Structure 1
Amino acid sequence: MSGGTFEALRGQLHEAATEFADGPGALEGILRGIVDDVERAVREPLEIFPVCHHSPASAIAMARRLREKQPKVVYLELCEDMAPLLTELRNCRLPVAVQAFATEVEGFPADWSPLSVVAPVTEASAEYQAIAYALDTPGVELVLVDRSSDHVFQWETRQESRPTDEPDSGGDGPDAAPAEAESALHGDAVGVEIGDLRPRFAELEEHLLRHGRVRHWSEWWHQYVELPLGDSDHDTYRQVMLLIGSLFRRLAPGDEPRVRIDEDRERYMWTRMREHLAATGTDPADCLYVCGAFHAASRVEEFGVHGSDTFTIGPPSGTRWRHGLIPSSHAAIEAQFGLAAGSVSIAATEWTKNLRRTRVRPYRLAGQAGTKKTTKAARPAPALPAAAAPAADRLTGFLQRPPVLDPLDEAELLGWSVDIVRAARRAGYLASTADAIAVFETSILLAGMRERAKPTPYDFLDAAVTCIEKDRVPGRRDVRRLVEIMMGGDRVGQVGYDALPPLARDVHDRLEPLGLRLQQRGVQRALLDIAAQPALERCSDVLWMLRRLMPEGAARPIMGERRLGERPIQESWDLALGTHQRALIELGYEGVSIEQVLEQRLRRTAYAPQATAATVLEAVEDAVLHLRSRRLADELGTHALDVLARERSVDGAPEVLRRVRRLLAYYRTAEPVLPPWIESFVKTGYAHYCTLLPTAFTDDDATVRQVAAMLGFLFGMEGLALSLGCDRTQLELALAQSHPADPARTALLWAARSHLGTLSRTALRERCDALLANPLVVPAYPRYLSGFVHALEPVPGLADFVVEAVSNAFARLPDPVLLPWLPTLITTLRASGTELAPLLIREAGRVFPARLAELDSWVPPWRLPQETPRVLPEAAGPAAGSALLAARPATCDALADLLGYDGTWATPEPTATGAALLARHPATATALGELLTIG
């Protein structure tokens, strides 16, 4: 382009390059190339409208241009697979985000799942103006031309999110939790935006911020681009945006992978536009191409209506994508795209001011929640010639024009100062009218130091923090957050009921009997008196499934619990479904009902490669508890049997024991017979743990709790296992082959042998006495006690012996030994026996005296003299029994009455009934006498 409209500008840039770079060279090539890029875009028959994401100036220029041109086709830089969702925007309250979501990936690494792409939409954005115009204007077609969501992940690798451009934006302050909750509305989704206008050359950005006397890029853009372009005409706006896009593009590092992706996107979009023009026969003059200024200044060969058709669009992967709308917020958009905190809120405020100042009527979707539809009819647009002449050079005048210093708007600044002091008082600050005056004056002072006559919202923000937040933050929110909220920073979008997926609508319908406004943000309390209203039990089922599927806090039970085999009576819940609307919507991408989603997740968890027997049993329990599905429980239980047989570690033994006990108790009361899978599980588990037991006793990686859980499974399930064909000899051999060296495991082995009868209680007591008598072993005695405490899991009958062992230690050890040893005992019991401590406490309460006065005369039961069993002589025979019964006739009479025998005693002193019975049945009397004598 040797000649043309911008030849004068080329000459001036040539002279500037010669003066500042000691002759034309690389700088001249860059400057002249920028002019070439602008002229190339301006001369394109299909009008290109460059925009910046969430820019009020772009939105105003877009609304003005749409009313002037009235295009018949609007090409929009947005993922082409999101087009069907745009009509649902009218059922939402902005800001919201259009989302593409995939849980089951095909063609991508499995660790990328779930895949998510979001495109946020706010009212103060050029893309929303184009969408509202196209959807509400008859005869206008909206065509999305950017790469699909699938191609987003085909072309890009997952990278760390970009850091925010203001590190000290208050993310670590007292209000960090609410701000983080709003900024997490998009999750870890990949963001798609129109107009990512930010220098990719770090030195250039640093230079602009330093000489512009601003702290971050958002403030620089607001001061030097937004404000000057707010009142500019269409040609000036368009050429300036093209100039900025070309500048940033040419100064970007050439070896950056992102450059290749940007060029492929431009090839993709121009290929799609040419395909549409060829298929419909639309005149390019009747079209408008809305894209980011960075892509408008493109140099690819496919650029333009007459560009080459050498780009081939690859096929999508096999991933199944689901689409929907999710709520968004200003904080979420700032976090997604690395904008300064509060910048989107300030843009929304600037958008409202621009509308009042310019009197431009924006486009809004009919029925849009949270907005007012303008009822006044739009003026007819002036007719455009068939081939409009190229626009005149507006860049030269714009670049030579000195900056316009806006006069101070005292009313606006005063209103801000009063509002922030009022908000600070509500937040607990000791703010007064003097602080409002200080904020007002400091804002003017900061603006003057930064060479601007009118304070910007960023100047006001710095002044408010300086004057009000003096030494501490009294409440949850700091002043920076209060300013953001005052300017609309707490605005969170909402997806309307009609735009929700079927699953979310089904949840709302099934919870309707609760009488709550589930769409409303915040926590609401739900009271369910199921005994009085049995129909509320269905609501309870839904709430428990939501608690299982959704993030913490979405559905939180306050009163009531759900256990196997129990029916609910009364429940109380805290619900925040409106706050967690995004999570509920994403559930709708996985199925049409929460039961289907829960079943899919249980299967996915149970059949995962890293699944253990404990996790599969948990899935079985959830299937019974929430879905009441015998079919699914049997299927997952059979799979748990296979997983247990493949395990070679005992890490999950405690969890396996706990869940098998619970499931056995449930099936024994709820089913006539046990399911076959649980019988097989007990049989296989008995043999499996017997095999692993000798190794577990000596394995350093296995804990005492895990070994105790194995013994608990073997002893607790022994009766059922033996009835199913297991052999107890296998357990005896496993214990005989176990030779632990650790004191805790040694005590556990002693307890197991005591349970089997191979080690008597007397021998066990003698071993503990020997440990206390050995000074070298006394420091390790707490570890032996830890083993005995864990032994209460498989052998609960040892509770009295453990109490005896602890008491003997306190009684026998001297103070110099006991006092240093006592903290170790307490910490050991607290760390290792918290679940079993109540059993010890109950046993100690039974053994020790209840009153202090009885303590002096109390003797421990294990120190009481043991009675020697009396053996009845064989020669005594029936005579001994007769003598015993004659001495206690009442006992014999009671026994005779119980047997239904009526008789009399032979002697006159006692009654005759017992004597007659004794004479007839002497063997019975003899046996009874032996029993009473031995006892």
Structure 2
Amino acid sequence: MSFDALRTRLREAAAALADGPDALEGILLGIVDDVAHAEREPLEIFPVCHHSPASAVAMARRLRQKQPKVVYLELCEDMAPLLTELRNCRLPVAVQAFATEVDGFPAEWAPLSVVAPITEASAEYQAIAYALDTPGVELVLVDRSSDHVFQWDGPRTDSGAAEEESGLHGDAVGVEIGDLRPRFAELEEHLLHHGRVRHWSEWWHQYVELPLGDSDHDTYRQVMLLIGSLFRRLAPGDPRRVRVDEDRERYMWTRMREHLAASGIAAADALYVCGAFHAVSRVAEFGLHGSDTFEISPRSASTWQYGLIPSSHAAIEAQFGLAGGSVSIAATEWANNVKRTKVKAFRLVGQAGAKKPAKLPEPAPDAEPSDKLSGFLRRPPVLDRLDEAELLGWSVEIVRAARRNGYLASTADAIAVYETSILLAGMRDRAKPTPYDFQDAAITCIEKDTVPGRRDVRHLVEIMMGGDRIGQVGYDALPPLARDVHDRLAPLNLKLDQRGVRRALLDIAGQPELKACSDVLWMLRYLMPHGAVRPIMGERRLGEQPIQESWDLALGTHQRSLIELGYEGVSVEQVLEQRLRRAAYDPQATAATVLKAVEDATLYLRSRRLADELGTRALEVLTTERSVDGAPEVLRRARRLLAYYRTSEPVLPQWIESFVKAGYAHYCTLLPTSFADEDATVHHVAAMLSFLFSMENLALSLGCDRTQLELAFAQSHPKEPQKVALLWAAQVHLGTLSRAELRARCDDLLGNPLVVPAYPRYLSGFVHALEPVPGLAEFVVEAVSNAFRLLPDPVLLPWLPTLISTLRSGGAELAPLLIREAGRIFPGRLAALDEWVPPWLAEPAPVVRRSAQRATLLAAHPATCDAVASLLGLDSAPSGAELVGRHPETAVAVEALLASR
């Protein structure tokens, strides 16, 4: 085929438009050479643009005409086994390659994810449907593997599209057929400015989609090759980008020659579907007669998993930098093209709405291709006739939608939208308003200044044009784990595959078989993101059995997350166990995080084997820690596990006994340093003391020596007021400091004007001491009351805010204990407050004066006297007076007990 006439005209145009013809002439003639070069290739190249209705229509038409025996498709070659599962899905969906454990890549890149979204309005779907449903046709994916995507591009692709995260694709790297967009920013800006459009999607729709929608095969092919060559020659010379593009082209041609040689299929019976950018490649490996000098590097040792995940128009637009609503508009345009051109599109058997494919007619012989570019470039743009009925319907529908969403729209607004759409189209040199013109007109005429609801007019127009269609992966295409989840939750009788929230009510006491569903739901709550599985009523605690539960389930909305769980194992139990092990054996794991893994293994898996293994790991981690930051969490979880094992097991597991022994010695060793360390807060030190005091009896019974604790306190010399108070409280618990001595020290603090400003910090230390020494609650109330009683107002009032803020920030969880104790001590009525005397100020009556009364009391109750005597180790009960004289404190206690009855 000769393009001599076109070359002559372009040479003349270059000479007229430029000072010297060399540069511009070289570009223009080079474009023609690229088109001719691709046209001469024996293996037919079919250039496409991703999600282009014109490409899809041209592809369907060409497949029915040529009926190739093999279709080479620009898509990651390792995704081929998944394509047959598309028939079990509702498009759009994305083929995904996923690797959680990487080998050969930096660890911070994990997990690796590659997605290739597929819509009905795409040429690759037409090729896939034709190849899979036509007997004797082979579909071969020839692009680099998912592993090579990261080998060449790194963790992010730079395909020229915006790589924004989307809800359904996450941060996966997107691959697509036909990355056809200017890579030269100034060129794109020039095209948008002179095309009088706002963004690239609108330019493509106006100047490529509409002209090529009804064109013949040769015209379509040559125009797409021309656009690909233009964008390729005007692309910035980024060496890395150029190298990746050329390596992909070498890779694909190498794979195609290998397949043709192995299969023996003639090149005339094959069709190569690729992006227009790659169709005009000039690498040495291009074509059937290209060189075989490219060596394909081996894949890394990473293990890749494959599956289908739901996609959506919005996710595709976000990932590939398309304008909002452009994919929905493309879907509408595809439906109109199919209806207008009468082209029979291909659709996979098994999909909703698909019919059994009709028998294909005999392939038509190919005519000799001719120069269609000259006529296409000379022809003025065809202005579509205004479709008044369509535009009027749009105007009425958008006003109706605006009213439903709170806008004060009227018939006048519908008329304004109609006329403004025509006006905008005329200003942009087109007779028929496009959906983008209509959208601008609707925003101008309806939205005004405010948006009354959640949806603005732009969003309403997108919904009206087709909306954000969201795909769904069918049951048969799900991985084994996802199918197992649906099977195990079947007793709930809910349509969990549908999007939205479903409420599940579980009466486990009345229907014990639902307990298995509860187990699955709790594991899914642990594994899946927030909102996928959410408990409304019910909780799971160690040692408790569920009675009734209520759940909000959105598994259909979070289908992608459920599918990706299937890449990690074949059951939720296996995945949960793997994650618990990973958390426990992480190099940054602490004793607290490992104990959490032990608790979760017991709570969700009920696995004694795994709990014992992780408990042994917790013991190893604890002995290597040199910080007390995790002491509060270690204390809480060790207490819960110890209480659970004491009530549910005949004997304590060996690991928890060893953990208590090691923890006792470990915290005794760290105690002196923690008292002096400024980085160790009073909360951490109090947690250490709580562990030592609450676990002391068990630790001593297991062979620990209390001398360790006594030596630790002897070596502790804190300087901070909070830690000093905490040390005093601990000494009271150990018996080395009496309450009278502690009271005297507090009185000295209140009597020293230099120390009074720091008194709230001492009180904060006493409040924190309530956890290891809860018996001090009465004394803390006394200390606070004495401060209010003794300090004058000039000292007390400036000091009061500091006290409140200190107690709130440092002891909020212990305040209820303090308040409960104060409520017990103080009178319950305001009138009694004036005559009330604090118990610590009341003078007790001498024991001698009341000895006669107590003797009389004990004589009146001989049985009580005998019982007390036996408790005191006396063989025979002495007289009441003698007993009272020997044990006055016991006599007082007995008297109070009898008086209370």
TM-score by length of 2: 0.95
CA RMSD, Structure 1 to Structure 2 (Å): 2.4
- Counterpart amino acid of 1:583? S
Q: 1:420 to 1:819 in 2, by over 3 A?
A: farther
Q: Does 1:84 align with 2:81?
A: yes
Q: Give the Cα–Cα distance (whole angstroms) in 2 for the partners of residues 860 and 680 of structure 1.
A: 47
Contact 1:884–1:929 (Cα < 8 Å) also in 2: no
Q: 1:753 to 1:267 in 2, by over 3 A?
A: same
Q: 1:18 to 1:534 in 2, by over 3 A?
A: same
Q: Corresponding residue for 1:493? A: 471
Say which is worse superposed, 792-801 or 662-671, in terms of deviation.
792-801
3-state SS in 2 of match to 1:408:
coil
Q: Give the Cα–Cα distance (whole angstroms) in 2 for the partners of residues 411 and 769 of structure 1.
A: 93
Q: Corresponding residue for 1:267? A: 250
Q: How does 1:307-318 map to 2 (within 5 A)?
A: 307-318=290-301
Contact 1:165–1:217 (Cα < 8 Å) also in 2: no
Following TM superposition, by how much is the alpha carbon of 1:441 offset from its aligned partner in structure 2, in angstroms? 2.2
Following TM superposition, by how much is the alpha carbon of 1:767 offset from its aligned partner in structure 2, in angstroms? 2.5
Aligned mate of 1:865, from 843, 851, 861: 843
Q: 1:427 to 1:638 in 2, by over 3 A?
A: same
Aligned mate of 1:377, from 358, 366, 375: 358
Q: Give the Cα–Cα distance (whole angstroms) in 2 for the partners of residues 602 and 782 of structure 1.
A: 43
Q: Give the Cα–Cα distance (whole angstroms) in 1 for the partners of residues 735 and 384 of structure 2.
A: 96
Following TM superposition, by how much is the alpha carbon of 1:443 offset from its aligned partner in structure 2, in angstroms? 1.9
Q: Corresponding residue for 1:226? A: 209
Q: Does 1:930 align with 2:886?
A: yes
Contact 1:165–1:216 (Cα < 8 Å) also in 2: no
Say which is worse superposed, 737-746 or 274-283, in terms of deviation.
737-746
Q: Give the Cα–Cα distance (whole angstroms) in 1 for the partners of residues 441 and 789 of structure 2.
A: 71
Q: Corresponding residue for 1:816? A: 794
Q: 1:763 to 1:234 in 2, by over 3 A?
A: same
Q: How does 1:141-180 map to 2 (within 5 A)?
A: 141-159=138-156
Q: How does 1:233-632 map to 2 (within 5 A)?
A: 233-369=216-352, 372-374=353-355, 377=358, 380-384=361-365, 389=368, 391-632=369-610
Following TM superposition, by how much is the alpha carbon of 1:33 offset from its aligned partner in structure 2, in angstroms? 1.2
Q: 1:351 to 1:868 in 2, by over 3 A?
A: farther
Q: Corresponding residue for 2:895? A: none
- Cα offsets for 1:842-893 (capped at 9, x unmatched): 1122122222222222222222224555599xxxxxxx99x97677433115
Following TM superposition, by how much is the alpha carbon of 1:500 offset from its aligned partner in structure 2, in angstroms? 0.5
Question: Identity over the aligned pairs, expressed in percent?
Answer: 78
Following TM superposition, by how much is the alpha carbon of 1:924 offset from its aligned partner in structure 2, in angstroms? 10
Aligned mate of 2:109, from 105, 108, 112: 112
Q: Give the Cα–Cα distance (whole angstroms) in 2 for the partners of residues 503 and 804 of structure 1.
A: 61
Q: 1:69 to 1:163 in 2, by over 3 A?
A: closer
Contact 1:331–1:489 (Cα < 8 Å) also in 2: no
Contact 1:75–1:287 (Cα < 8 Å) also in 2: yes
- Cα offsets for 1:762-785 (capped at 9, x unmatched): 222222233333333333322222
Q: 1:867 to 1:41 in 2, by over 3 A?
A: farther
Q: 1:814 to 1:304 in 2, by over 3 A?
A: same
Contact 2:102–2:303 (Cα < 8 Å) also in 1: yes
Q: Give the Cα–Cα distance (whole angstroms) in 1 for the partners of residues 786 and 443 of structure 2.
A: 66
Say which is worse superposed, 553-562 or 839-848, in terms of deviation.
839-848
Q: Corresponding residue for 2:897? A: none
3-state SS in 2 of match to 1:214:
coil
Q: Corresponding residue for 2:687? A: 709
Q: Corresponding residue for 2:93? A: 96
- Cα offsets for 1:245-281 (capped at 9, x unmatched): 1111111122341211111111111111111100111
- Cα offsets for 1:502-550 (capped at 9, x unmatched): 1000000000111100001001100000000111100000000000000
Following TM superposition, by how much is the alpha carbon of 1:840 offset from its aligned partner in structure 2, in angstroms? 1.5
- Counterpart amino acid of 1:19? A
Following TM superposition, by how much is the alpha carbon of 1:591 offset from its aligned partner in structure 2, in angstroms? 0.6
3-state SS in 2 of match to 1:659:
helix
- Counterpart amino acid of 2:104? G
Aligned structure 1 segments of 4 or more residues deviating by more than 6 angstroms: 160-166, 896-900
Q: Corresponding residue for 1:776? A: 754
Contact 1:364–1:373 (Cα < 8 Å) also in 2: yes
Say which is worse superposed, 483-492 or 97-106, in terms of deviation.
483-492
Q: Give the Cα–Cα distance (whole angstroms) in 2 for the partners of residues 591 and 165 of structure 1.
A: 33
Q: Does 1:41 align with 2:38?
A: yes
Q: Give the Cα–Cα distance (whole angstroms) in 2 for the partners of residues 449 and 816 of structure 1.
A: 79
Following TM superposition, by how much is the alpha carbon of 1:722 offset from its aligned partner in structure 2, in angstroms? 1.4
Q: Does 1:66 align with 2:44?
A: no
Following TM superposition, by how much is the alpha carbon of 1:628 offset from its aligned partner in structure 2, in angstroms? 0.5
Say which is worse superposed, 500-509 or 155-164, in terms of deviation.
155-164
- Cα offsets for 1:456-480 (capped at 9, x unmatched): 1112222222222222222222222
Q: Give the Cα–Cα distance (whole angstroms) in 1 for the partners of residues 826 and 456 of structure 2.
A: 57
Following TM superposition, by how much is the alpha carbon of 1:305 offset from its aligned partner in structure 2, in angstroms? 1.0
- Counterpart amino acid of 2:29? R
- Cα offsets for 1:428-449 (capped at 9, x unmatched): 2232222222222222222222
Q: Does 1:122 align with 2:84?
A: no
Unaligned ranges ≥5, structure 1: 172-179, 873-879, 901-917
Contact 2:64–2:363 (Cα < 8 Å) also in 1: no
Q: Corresponding residue for 1:57? A: 54
Q: Give the Cα–Cα distance (whole angstroms) in 2 for the partners of residues 630 and 395 of structure 1.
A: 75
Q: 1:522 to 1:887 in 2, by over 3 A?
A: closer
What is the count of residue pairs matched by the alignment?
Answer: 888
Q: Give the Cα–Cα distance (whole angstroms) in 1 for the partners of residues 398 and 627 of structure 2.
A: 61
Q: Corresponding residue for 2:859? A: 889
Q: Give the Cα–Cα distance (whole angstroms) in 1 for the partners of residues 376 and 315 of structure 2.
A: 35
Aligned mate of 1:801, from 757, 773, 779: 779
Following TM superposition, by how much is the alpha carbon of 1:925 offset from its aligned partner in structure 2, in angstroms? 8.9
Q: 1:686 to 1:309 in 2, by over 3 A?
A: same
Q: Give the Cα–Cα distance (whole angstroms) in 2 for the partners of residues 94 and 305 of structure 1.
A: 35
Contact 1:104–1:113 (Cα < 8 Å) also in 2: yes
Q: Give the Cα–Cα distance (whole angstroms) in 1 for the partners of residues 412 and 796 of structure 2.
A: 66
3-state SS in 2 of match to 1:700:
coil
Q: Corresponding residue for 1:208? A: 191
Contact 2:70–2:270 (Cα < 8 Å) also in 1: yes
Q: Does 1:134 align with 2:123?
A: no
3-state SS in 2 of match to 1:78:
strand
Aligned mate of 2:20, from 18, 23, 27: 23
Q: Corresponding residue for 1:849? A: 827
Contact 2:866–2:877 (Cα < 8 Å) also in 1: no
Q: Corresponding residue for 2:174? A: 191
Following TM superposition, by how much is the alpha carbon of 1:760 offset from its aligned partner in structure 2, in angstroms? 1.9
Contact 1:526–1:573 (Cα < 8 Å) also in 2: yes
Q: Corresponding residue for 1:877? A: none
Q: 1:928 to 1:240 in 2, by over 3 A?
A: same
Q: Does 1:836 align with 2:834?
A: no
Q: 1:775 to 1:438 in 2, by over 3 A?
A: farther
Q: Give the Cα–Cα distance (whole angstroms) in 2 for the partners of residues 67 and 853 of structure 1.
A: 99
Q: Does 1:787 align with 2:770?
A: no
Q: Give the Cα–Cα distance (whole angstroms) in 1 for the partners of residues 668 and 346 of structure 2.
A: 75
3-state SS in 2 of match to 1:739:
coil
Say which is worse superposed, 511-520 or 449-458, in terms of deviation.
449-458
Q: Give the Cα–Cα distance (whole angstroms) in 2 for the partners of residues 698 and 403 of structure 1.
A: 84
Aligned mate of 1:10, from 4, 7, 12: 7
Q: Corresponding residue for 1:176? A: none
Q: 1:712 to 1:162 in 2, by over 3 A?
A: farther
3-state SS in 2 of match to 1:861:
coil
Contact 1:162–1:338 (Cα < 8 Å) also in 2: no
Q: 1:490 to 1:811 in 2, by over 3 A?
A: farther
3-state SS in 2 of match to 1:489:
coil
Q: Give the Cα–Cα distance (whole angstroms) in 1 for the partners of residues 603 and 718 of structure 2.
A: 40
- Counterpart amino acid of 1:512? A
Following TM superposition, by how much is the alpha carbon of 1:821 offset from its aligned partner in structure 2, in angstroms? 2.9
Contact 2:43–2:288 (Cα < 8 Å) also in 1: yes
